[in-house]
Chains A and B, each alone.
Chain A
Amino acid sequence: MSQPLSHRELLSAGIQDTARAESLLDSKELVGVELGDLLAQLAVAPDPDTALLLLIRLIEREPTVTRLVTADAARPLLRLLGASEALGEYLIRRPEQLDIFRDPDVDSTPACGGLVDAQGSAIDAAPVLRARLLASVGADPYEEPPVATMTGKDASVALRVEYRRQLVAIAVQDLMADDPVAMQPVVSMWLSDLAAAVLEAALAVSRAEILIRYDEATDVELTVIAMGKCGARELNYFSDVDVIFAHDVAEGSQLTRQAAADIAGELAAGITTVVNQPAREPALWEIDTNLRPEGQDGVLSRTVSSHLEYYQRWAHTWEFQALLKARPVAGSLALGQRYLDALSSLIWQASTREGFVRQVQRMRHRVIDHISHDQRQREIKLGPGGLRDVEFPAQLLQLVHGKTDPELRVRATEDALEALQAGSYIGPSDAQVMTNNYRFLRLIEHRVQLVRLRRTHMMPDTEHELRMLTRSMRPISGQWPKDPEQLVKAWKATVRSNRTLFEQLFYRPLLPSTAALSPDDARLTPEAATARLAALGYRDPRGAVRHIQSLTSGVSRQAKLQRQILPAMLGWLAWGPDPDGGLLGFRKLSESVGGSHWYLHMLRDSSAAGERLAHVLSSSRYITDMLEHTPQAAAWMDRDQDLMPLSLDTIQTEMTALIHRHPNLPDAARYVRVVRRREILRISLADACDLVEQPQVSQALAAADQAAVEALLRLVVDHVTQKWGGEGPRADVAVIAMGRQGGYEAGYGSDLDVMFVHQPAAGVAVDEASRFAVDVAKALISFMKMPTRPPIVLEPVLEIDADLRPEGRRGPLVRSLDSYRAYYEQWADTWEIQALLKARAIAGSQHLQDAFTQWADSVRYTHGLTKAQAQEIRRMKARVEAERLPRGADPARHLKLGRGGLTDVEWLTQTLQLQHTPDYPELQTTNTLKALEAAKAAELLTAEDANILIHAWSLATRIRSGIVISTGKVSDVLPTNRDLLEALARWTGYDAGEVGEFEDDYLRITRHARAVFERVFYGTTSPRAVSDF
């Protein structure tokens, strides 16, 4: 060792493992090297420890390398060794290639410095690289087409060695650049041209090999079209190269179509072999040919017309985004151009499909959903705020506006941004921010890939890797990034800014120019704004423009806040089935809330609230209308807790307090009904926001109704008692819910089917008590629906319907418990026992409720069914099928009475309950789904049958509630109106555009349910043979 080294010198060179470094510096290869000089130069290496080790191994192979150190010219080499182990290994493997470090001009290669001209600007390296790579396999670059003189593994080795030599040259220029961020696009271009040159040279080899076997092969022209990053000249250091092949046969050739296709296929496959077959120099990257028509199953090469035929079938789909970047890179460029010309018209039609942006966005979301959560945070490319979030909006905007503006038809992301800005589709500052973000992330990606030449897009997470990345990002002459902390901070800021880009680019420019936030914002022409709104899914873009204008114009605080909120809202609204209706609703709501400060602030500060509100407004007329009259409810959007349905207890407590404060009956009744209406709105909001499932919704609706009935019953009992001259109530009156309400299966707008029961007060004659009870029942029914003053706007009025009572309308409105008992013992029809299965006491004294329930249980749960009764139920059902379905209704589409609809499932369930409850007490429930689950568990139904019934019943129930939500009206028919069907499809969880599937599924599921019903209920083996259902 020539001189002792201080620890400080080692540390200042960036060495981490000083002990190991000391022993390395002691090795015999470094004898004669001035270690101080070496360390001074080593400091430029991103990972000096590795660089030092690689250097020693290199000297071992090629001792003259020490001269570089001595001449103070080793910085490029050391920087490379410290940034890329893989390229270091290459140099150790091929020390003869070190000449490019000794003499940058050697053998006129575009090596270090060779890609930059005298003025220091990048030259078009493509022809040079093509010539070098072709020469490496002995092909004449001026021959047309070039044919290699080398073949087989020798050709592979020669080609790969030359490729890596050029890669070293590019990497060195990249690493030594003063401003690597600015340099990034040039580096990508070089890398793309280098890959293209490889394809050309490999094709020359493949051609040489095939000519040995077939002379006619000269008749076949092949073109290699690069797609994706290579096509757009924005390749990174290590990535699959996506290509497509097309071929043509020379005129007058004797080859058949099939033979020509075979030769073209072999030529194409030969390229992959040259690049990837095992040989002494390792394989290069994957050539991915899966973007070709039919993917992996398709032939490798097709004629241009065959490509076109295929793509026409795919017109309007996302496949075309890939074609946006297609570029012929090898083989016959003229043929490649013909390919592009043929397909270009298809590309630019894609965006005219309805809801195009929405569909494409959904795909983007799916991609994000597929990345595991911890990877998502570090994904430079696909994660939220990653590279894709820059590329993606740029491409979408290209597709949306490129249909009418040919200036936008460019390949690379940066070119697209520039063109979009030049055409005023995005603002100059946005374009600048995007470009910078894009380059910065690409540079990180480059540096990370360079280390091992692996396809990775992960931000490193170990201290060591981060440190190395920081040092390789920092130019030799530069200060930034100072340390990993600074780098990570910058990266996070970039990711954050990218996340909001979509909104920023797509929606903000839609604001009228008078409302622009800054002079920097883009100003869309009215035509461009219309095209964009239409692509986003607005059916009436002109109307939308008017609403936007009205919301954002003016100098009020409100208008100012709207300008901040609206761009995001426009995006969220576009996701719903009815964006136009949603925007109108938002305008009305905003006008009605007026200046309430909380409203706009909530929307500005809570994106969750805004997104929810938009979703609700664009999917539900029902809720939008109610919200307009109860705008305060919008405040609930901010917190899940505020949206959750209240419990029965809570509602009852509130109503009790209200009654207490407002003893006057009409006032009190009105308050009770106002609270009920408010709760229904809350439930529907929670439902629309997917916070609750259908069974919870029904339960909550039942609770709201029950609380209202209960409170009102107390009021009218007092009221009637007073009318009867005081002295206390003449009878105890209870309300029994029947039907859907009894089973906790109510939907929006359901009636309340009831029976009333009374018990005479002590010492009161039954007759008198009855009359009193009838007065109470009538008052209850009427106060629940009579108009109030002031009116309750848009109240879903609760109709109380007592027609299901014994003897129907002819029977007394209220019976005493004894009277029920007597009636059921002597007269009751089987269907009346069946109806009792749904009976649930909801109001009145606890004592009477319990007594009724006890009696009802004894009737419905203890007897089983006689054969005759079972037959009677079946006949009754058959008659219902024949008579109840409205004239002209399609049985397949009637949700309630139709084939496999609610009634089918319920009758089957109820029969099982009547029959088996004596043996299976778990069947004691008023709820259809619970009864079905119990029957399944008790094996009274096979699991398969039970699941079909549950599915059909749940779907029909869900659709019924969706109809009310969408239209505000109750209907039992699956609509034929497409817009409404679309809304229902979305409501039941289908994606946009899946309305056909939705309808088909409904028809199939209910058909299956009907088959189960026929078999289990009627006992017929051939379903529907007996009916026209």
Chain B
Amino acid sequence: MDRQQEYVLRTLEDRDVRFIRLWFTDVVGALKSVALAPAEVEYAFSEGLGFDGSSVEGFTRIFESDMLLQPDPTTFQILPWRGDEEQTSRMFCDVKMPDGEPSMADPRNVLRRTLNTAADMGFSCYLHPEIEFYLFKADQWDDQGVPVPVDEAGYFDHVPGGVAQDFRREAVSMLEAVGISVEFSHHEAGWGQNEIDLRVADALSSADNIMTARTVIKEVATLRGLHASFMPKPLGSQPGSALHTHFSLFESDANAFHEPGAEYQLSTTARRFIAGVLRYSAEITAVTHQFVNSYKRLWGGKEAPSYVSWGHNNRSALVRIPLHKPNKAGSARIEYRGIDAAANPYLAYALIISAGLKGIEEEYELPDAADEDIGLLTTRERMLMGHAALPTTLHDALGVLEESEFVADVLGESVFQSFLRAKRAEWDEYRVNVSPFEIRRYLDAI
């Protein structure tokens, strides 16, 4: 029993916690949860909690059904929205095989493996995710069957007496209560669209934090009679929701992306990292944009970066080098803008970080930076400047992913295969669906 585990057991006792939820994630990033009584926690630490994985997406068919959840005591938190009565807590789990080896199908393990590779190269990875989402009025639809956003405000708008503002205040304090520091929160460009930026943390914690934040945001919305959604593009006329993420690598205590005096203060390591990320951005699109709906955001024309490019403070670029305060070496970072709000953070981050590491390892050359709005260029211009287009549909993206040895290698064959299988099934279902658009357009006209 190590100190962390002891701490958990002591807290359970001291705070009279009644339930412990064990959280883990399936391949598409849906949070799964099992509740445990405090008396069983000690056993779960030492032996793991057996569960039948055969009904969980991604664990199906690949392995025998008996698997173990191994709670990670460093992720222990009391869940505040349950109130003081009957306190509930949660821990994230690693999914293990009965012999204690990590499950090859566990997305958290995919990210862990990547981070271990990074550590072997001497790097630790830190992330700063920006979570966007829409707030709708619960159970209200307009005459087109479209959900109704809580307000019609825009970017950074202050809405007096606004619902969204109160919502954000409560969500942020709830997040702080579960130990997730929030850097920033504000109204986004779309009607009812909000953004909450988490403070920088190591990559695994960041991914855990995103899973927690999604839950917290949805819980708070429900408590306030609202509905929160991370759907990438819920409203055709409004911008989509992304999960822009800032990446930085540290070598021991120093920021490996920072080099004073270099162009944009970017070190060679940073340039290679970006080159790697760009090179694989098309192959990983099916993971960073994993739903049919994702492509309506990606190709919706509203500031989603759909071409492979990078630039200094260029919001149309896939990789943006943020302006940062000079002489703040520690804050050097790059922003990857090609992840939508509904991605599985474990898999998406594992792929992006691995792509960057590959760039470093194989010393990829970085192409020239783009300094204009790439969306405004002509197709020919983009071609000449080497800005390839990302896949335009889930189907295309899966085709590219399927051919990618890189992705298969990072995800491992099991996750690779089950991801493809789940997503192909989704596409097949979508393909045969007749949409309201088609009814409107064709039913009377033809």
Contact = CB atoms under 8 A, between A and B. Distances in A.
Contacts of A1007: 408, 413, 417
Contacts of B50: none
Given A976-B63, A1003-B417, A1025-B399, A996 B252 contact: no
Given A261-B252, A976-B63, A996 B122 contact: no
A993 B2 CA distance: 25
Interface stretch (B98-106, B186-194, B292-300, B356-364): B98-106
Given A299-B252, A978-B98, A1024-B402, A313 B119 contact: yes
A312 to B, nearest CB: 9
A1023 interface: yes
A292 to B, nearest CB: 10
B106 to A, nearest CB: 11
B101, B251, B403, B413: residue with the most chain A Cβ atoms closer than 10 Å: B413
A1004 interface: yes
Size range of the chain A interface in the assembly: 20 to 34
B399 A258 contact: no
Interface in B52-74: 61-64
Contacts of A982: 99
A351 B403 CA distance: 42
A977 B104 contact: no
Given A299-B253, A1000-B104, A1000-B414, A978 B62 contact: no
Contacts of B116: 313
B308 interface: no
A1000 B413 contact: yes
A298 B122 contact: yes
A892 B417 contact: yes
B377 interface: no
Interface residues of B, number: 30
A743 to B, nearest CB: 29
B114 to A, nearest CB: 14
B97 interface: yes
B59 to A, nearest CB: 11
A698 to B, nearest CB: 27
Contacts of B254: 258
Interface in B402-424: 402-403, 408, 412-414, 417, 421, 424
Given A261-B253, A978-B98, A999-B104, A294 B122 contact: yes
A1024 B62 CA distance: 19
Interface in B96-124: 97-102, 104, 116, 119, 121-122
Nearest to B395: A1025
Interface in A972-1012: 976-979, 982, 993, 995-996, 999-1000, 1003-1004, 1007
A996 B104 contact: yes
B99 A999 contact: no
B253 A258 contact: yes
A354 interface: yes
A978 B408 contact: no
Contact of A999 (B61, B122, B413): B413
A979 B101 CA distance: 12
Interface string A453-475: 00000000000000000000000
Contacts of A996: 101-102, 104
Contacts of A216: none
Given A258-B253, A299-B253, A978-B97, A1003 B64 contact: no
B168 to A, nearest CB: 33
Nearest to B251: A297
A1025 B400 CA distance: 11
A1022 interface: yes
Contacts of A1004: 408, 413
A1022 B98 contact: no
A302 interface: yes
Given A978-B97, A1023-B402, A1024-B402, A302 B252 contact: yes
Nearest to B120: A294
A690 interface: no
Interface string A1007-1029: 10000000000000011110010
Given A302-B252, A1000-B414, A1022-B399, A890 B62 contact: yes
A302, A979, A996, A1023: residue with the most chain B Cβ atoms closer than 10 Å: A996
A353 to B, nearest CB: 9
Contacts of B421: 1028
A298 B123 CA distance: 10
B289 to A, nearest CB: 20
A1025 B408 CA distance: 17
A362 interface: no
A257 interface: yes
Contact of A1000 (B64, B402, B403, B412): B412
A784 to B, nearest CB: 37
Contact of B253 (A257, A345, A892): A257
Contacts of A294: 119, 122, 252
Given A257-B253, A298-B252, A1024-B402, A995 B101 contact: yes
Nearest to A260: B253
Contacts of B61: 890
A879 B444 CA distance: 42
A1012 to B, nearest CB: 13
Contacts of A299: 252-253
Nearest to B97: A978
Contacts of A354: 99-100
B64 A976 contact: yes
Interface in A210-256: none
Contacts of B98: 978
Contacts of A890: 61-62
A955 B402 CA distance: 23
A838 to B, nearest CB: 31
Nearest to B421: A1028
A302 B421 CA distance: 46
A977 B417 contact: no
Nearest to B417: A892
A995 B97 CA distance: 11
A993 B116 CA distance: 18
A139 B254 CA distance: 34
A1003 B122 contact: no
Contacts of A345: 2
Contacts of B97: 978
Nearest to A1001: B413
Contact of B64 (A298, A302, A977, A1022): A977
Nearest to A975: B64
Interface in B172-187: none
Interface in A378-433: none
Interface string B213-257: 000000000000000000000000000000000000001111000
Contacts of A1023: 402-403
Interface string A303-327: 0000000000100000000000000
B5 to A, nearest CB: 13
A302 B413 CA distance: 38
Given A313-B116, A1023-B402, A1003 B414 contact: yes
A313 B122 CA distance: 13
Given A257-B253, A1024-B402, A1003 B413 contact: yes
Nearest to B413: A1003
Given A354-B99, A978-B64, 9 more contacts: A257-B253, A297-B121, A299-B253, A976-B64, A978-B98, A1007-B417, A1023-B403, A1025-B399, A1028-B421
Interface of A: 257-258, 261, 294, 297-299, 302, 313, 345, 354, 890, 892, 976-979, 982, 993, 995-996, 999-1000, 1003-1004, 1007, 1022-1025, 1028
17 contacts: A258-B253, A294-B119, A297-B251, A299-B252, A299-B253, A313-B116, A313-B119, A890-B62, A892-B413, A976-B63, A977-B64, A978-B97, A996-B101, A996-B104, A999-B104, A1023-B403, A1028-B424
Closest 9 CB pairs of A and B: A1003-B413, A299-B252, A976-B64, A297-B122, A890-B61, A1000-B413, A294-B122, A976-B63, A978-B99
